[in-house]
Amino acid sequence: MNADINNVLYWSATIADNESNVDGQLAQTANSGFKTVLLWSLHIVGLGDGLGRTPGDLYWNDTPLVTTVAGVSTFDPKKQFTRLHQRLVTLIGPDTDVYSIFFSIGAGGTSDFTAVQQLLASENGTNTLITNFQTLLSNLPTITGFDFDNEDNFDVGTIAKFTALLFTNFSSAITFCPYYDFDFWEACMEKIYSGLGKQPVLWWNLQCYSGGNGNNPVQWAAQLAANQARNGVEDPDNFIIAGYAAMNTQGDGPGLCPSGINRVFKPFKDRVGGGFIWNSQHIFNNTASCDGQVPVIADYVDAINSALTSQVVRA
C-alpha cells in the first residue's frame, strides 16, 4: 500500500443504530486501509429552530452531544455517545490503519451553516459556538478535525470565519466536501488564507456521485493549481480526494462495486491524493452483490490503491 494515499470513509449513523454490529464493523474498518473516518453528521442548532432547542447546541444526527441550559454547557446529556466514543478509540492505534477521526458538519436538507452564520453575527453567539465546541472536544479527544459538508448556505465569509474559529481556538484540522461550485469553495480558500496567513484546510473531499455526479477531480485540482498563490494550497494534485458511493441496495450514488471504483480511479493516478467512499452503511448494512460476491470494506480501499499505484489487489 502506498503510504501517501489518503483514503477516507464517511461513517453514517449506522455506527450508533446497529449496536450489536458495531464492534465487528469497527474491527474491519480499523484494518481496512482507510486512514480517516468522518462521522456523519454533526448538526448545529440555529435561531428559532422550531423544536425548542437552544441555539448553538450540537447534535450527532438526532442524539444531543452538547446542550446548554442556563448558560451551562453539558456534554452527552442522555449518555448515548460516551460509550460509543470508547469504542471509536479502538480505531486508532499502532496496529490499525486509521490515524484520524473527524466530525462531518452538515448534510443535504439541513441548515447547519445557516445556523453558523446566525451565531457568528453576534458576540454572544460566537462565544456560544466556542464554548460548545470546547465542551465537545474536551470530552472527545479522539476527534482531531471537522469536515464541512455545506449544502445550505454558500456565504464565503461564514465558511472563512468558522474555519478560523475552529482552527485558532482548537487547532482543529479542516476539510471541505464540495459537490459543485468550484468558484465558491476557491473564494473561501482565498479568504481563509489571506486572513490567517496560512491554510488550515487540509484537503477537499470532492463528491463525484449524486449531486456531484460527473465532477472531474483532475480538473478541480488543475483549477486549484491555477490559483495556488492566492489559495495557499501547497500540493494541488494531492489536495483533491475523489469520492464515490459504494454499491448498495438503496440506489444511492449510483453505487459502484470495487471493480468499478478501480476503473474510475485509474485515470487519476498521480493526479489525486486518494479517494473517499460514501458510506459505511452501504458497505455493512445495504450490501449488494458485486461480480458474484458481496464485497468487504477492505475491497474498496484495495480498489483505490491498486488504481493509484498500479499495485495488485490483495487476494
Residue 2: what pLDDT? Answer: 41
Q: Report whether 248 contacts 257 (CB < 8 A).
A: no
CA gap 125, 44 in Å, rounded: 12
Cell numbers standing for residue 306:
491498486
CB atoms within 10 A of CB 237: 17
At position 81, the amino acid (one-letter code) is F
Per residue in 246-280, pLDDT tens?
Answer: 999 988 999 999 999 999 999 999 999 999 999 99
Residue 16: what pLDDT? Answer: 60
Is the confidence at residue 313, as pLDDT, over 60? no
Residue 1: what pLDDT? Answer: 33
The answer for residues whose C-beta is within 8 angstroms of residue 55's C-beta and 6 or more apart is 45, 46, 47, 49, 115, 118, 119, 125, 128
| DSSP for 74-85, written as a single string | EE-TTSSSHHHH
Is the confidence at residue 286, as pLDDT, over 70? yes
How much is the pTM?
Answer: 0.94
Of the pLDDT bands very low, low, confident and very high (cuts 50, 70, 90), residue 17 is low
Domains and CATH numbers, the chain: 8-309 (3.20.20.80)
Phi, psi of 225 (to 5 degrees): -60, -35
Treating both helix axes as pointing N-terminal to C-terminal, what angle do 297-309 and 22-30 enclose, rounded to 10 degrees?
20
Least confident of 109-118, 182-191, 279-288: 279-288
Residue with cell 498563490: 229
Q: 3-state DSSP call for residue 175? A: strand
At position 105, the amino acid (one-letter code) is I
Give the mean pLDDT of 288-307. 94
Listed residue (99, 57, 87, 89) closest to 75, CA to CA? 57
Residue 189: what pLDDT? Answer: 98
Per residue in 23-51, pLDDT tens?
Answer: 889 999 999 999 999 999 999 999 988 88
Residue 103, sorted as left (phi over 0), alpha (psi -120 to 50) or beta, turns out to be beta
53 DSSP 8-state letter? P
Is the confidence at residue 300, as pLDDT, over 90? yes
Residue 312: what pLDDT? Answer: 46
Of the pLDDT bands very low, low, confident and very high (cuts 50, 70, 90), residue 214 is very high
Of the pLDDT bands very low, low, confident and very high (cuts 50, 70, 90), residue 166 is very high
Is the confidence at residue 314, as pLDDT, over 70? no
CA gap 273, 36 in Å, rounded: 13
Beta strands at 201-207 and 173-176: parallel, antiparallel or unpaired: parallel
Highest mean pLDDT, choosing among 3-7, 237-241, 289-293, 306-310: 237-241
Is the confidence at residue 19, as pLDDT, over 90? no
Per residue in 72-99, pLDDT tens?
Answer: 999 999 888 887 888 889 999 999 999 9
The mean pLDDT of the chain is 93
Per residue in 120-150, pLDDT tens?
Answer: 999 999 999 999 999 999 999 999 999 999 9
